Structure 1
Amino acid sequence: MRNCDLDHRIAGTLTGMSSDSPDDDALTWAGDTEPGAQVSRPAGSAPSSESTVSSGWRVVGKPGRVATAPQDQRSGQMSSVALVTHGILAGVYLLYTIGWLIAAQRATGAPADIVGSLMFTVGLWLAVLAPALWTAATLWLTRGAPSLRGRMIALVMGALVLAPWPFIVGAS
């Protein structure tokens, strides 16, 4: 390249003028046609993929079509309302576990025989674990569900059923 051509290009770039050479554009690629050039093809024929694709590449799919994900697949993210509801229900289940733990520690009416006493103790500790087990089972069984409605219904039903009534009422 001659020195005067380089000066002309620099001066044209600084003043906002562009040169007629296709190499002056920063976003051109090898194989691009000039901006004013048209690819000639016979009338009535579809555009050929070979004319618009560089050698060594091939076109896959139909031109102008964009692949989209199917509508029936979930994105994996919960809505804000669902996330807040899950958090509230998780807090309720944690409070239920604490309530059942307090009720189990207060319980004094164990039967005198060994089998009855063992069953009473196991029942108390299963009552303490019930909210955590219900939550884990609900989340595990509804992990592939198409909507969150079934999960929410199961969690709300568990919140109604698993309330620590001995702690709420104050009886032991």
Structure 2
Amino acid sequence: MSQLADNPFWDYSLVHYGRSEVARACLELQEGVGANVNLVLFCCWLGSFGQVLTVQDLDEAEEVIRDWNEQVVEPLRGVRRFVRSEFAGFADQEWPQEVKQLELRAERVVQNRLCNWWQTKYGSSRDTGSTNRSEPGGEQQLQNLNLYLSRTSDITINYGSPLVWPVASAKPKN
């Protein structure tokens, strides 16, 4: 359950998901077909620097995060949704924000597990932190996203999607 001090996947996700249209697209996939937002972002991140996932990779990635997702992330998400829908009048109090922050910390553990797994499996043979990539990875993002989504739905992502954003070197604003 270690936290990576430097997790390029987390850095990418903060910037990419921070775009309102990306957040909206991710949440629509989560609500509509049960997609795991962290896996959607993982597909985008890897594709952004030309990495293509296989069916076996996706199987392994899902297994790496399954327990933490089921035992921690999903229950926290349920608490946050319940608080938001049933107790909207309490939105200005501290504890709903604390639940949201705890959920975010749990999501970071998921992303750390995915990043650790990928880097352990492929080591330095696949570059996951390049800042000097000259070619966009839009095609690879599409391949990864569509492979992942084909497992549970008939949705196809195309180049018009806000999810396709090939900036592997993006860093969060300070």
Give the TM interval when normalised to the shorter protein.
Answer: under 0.3
Q: What TM-score, normalized to structure 2?
A: 0.25
Higher relative CO (Cα under 8 Å, sequence separation at least 6) belongs to 2
The structure richer in helix per residue is 2
